[in-house]
Structure 1
Amino acid sequence: MQKGFPLTKPQREMQCFDFCMGEAEKVFGPKDNGIPFVGFWHYPQSESNAKPRIYHYTKPFGCGIWLTYLAQQYEVNMVFQISHEVVHLLSPIGREHTSTLEEGMATWFSWEMQRKHGQKIHIPASNYTDAGKLVKSLMKHAPDIIKQLRSKTGVKIGEISAQHLLDENPTIYPNLAQKLAQPFQY
């Protein structure tokens, strides 16, 4: 990220977003066109239990990212939350819940971005950590599988099935493919 002149919080968020989206596209393939990113919204401090998330808007049409109060206060939280949510913006499916694969990709990718920024790794709730570890295993074995699948089939990340994974790379353990394709347990 930019060094030198101080940036405002909105500028820092957009700089982080642009960097993370570029990195996510290198790893997982380009963002689907059609649903634009429309900006950031912030939960107030009083909503301390709020979780960062993607929100689908009709006016303006597009997807926005809701960030927690902690992301407004601490760089490590901002990087973790934006990098996590960027993965969901690659191919939004327009519903609240998704697969273990997509949540795992978002968690694994956020760990990678924190490493690149020299930050201490944020450890989320165990269900996210477990999903991130499954994706870490997948990425070690087949680092380009998501990018290849999306390019060849046009499938949305949240709709990738075990069969998609096995057809693309038959050497993946079937048990791993099944776990990744399951709905994520929030």
Structure 2
Amino acid sequence: MKAYLAGPDVFLPHAVAHAAAKIAICARYGIIGRAPVGDEIGDLSGLTADAAWRAIYQKDIAMMGDCDIIIANLTPFRGASADAGTLVELGWFLGRGKPVFGYSNTAALFGARSRAQVAKMPDPVNGLMIEDFGLPDNLMIAGATSYPEGLGVIVPPDGTDRAFDALDIFEICVAQATQVKSKSV
């Protein structure tokens, strides 16, 4: 089974090493992990910014097409919710009927994070409702990771936030995804 390892991890200063650690964790569970960094993307030097982003997009789409599942890092990124690019990738898998798995290193629920964000950066219109269903993220993200065979967003079971690049919750997600997939085969 091949897993596309999505997430804003690609922006880490140590993205290639971080991806290698995730790929090694996947291998321990019999999964071939593929992350959109390093050799998977290739050398973009010499390309214009326009050519580079288009090349990355095409390579990501091809890589996703080659994978059976997605394991997405849904840890909030530059806001109260998951990374926008990761959510596009999650939707791509969902739209093709491929299993979607996700995790977050953040224990705080989406409603609380949204209120904290609005306190620092007010909404453009007063009185906008804050979605608060007691979920780890927006209800559509929770739904996408829950059906038909998902686990919901895996969060720290002890209620303690992890570092953005911590891998223990990722490993829990990989282990649980492996169990779900082995039952459906």
Q: Normalising by the residue count of structure 2, what TM-score does the alignment of the two structures yield?
A: 0.29
Structure number with higher helix proportion:
1
Greater RCO, CA 8 A, separation 6+: 2
Q: Normalising by the residue count of structure 1, what TM-score does the alignment of the two structures yield?
A: 0.29
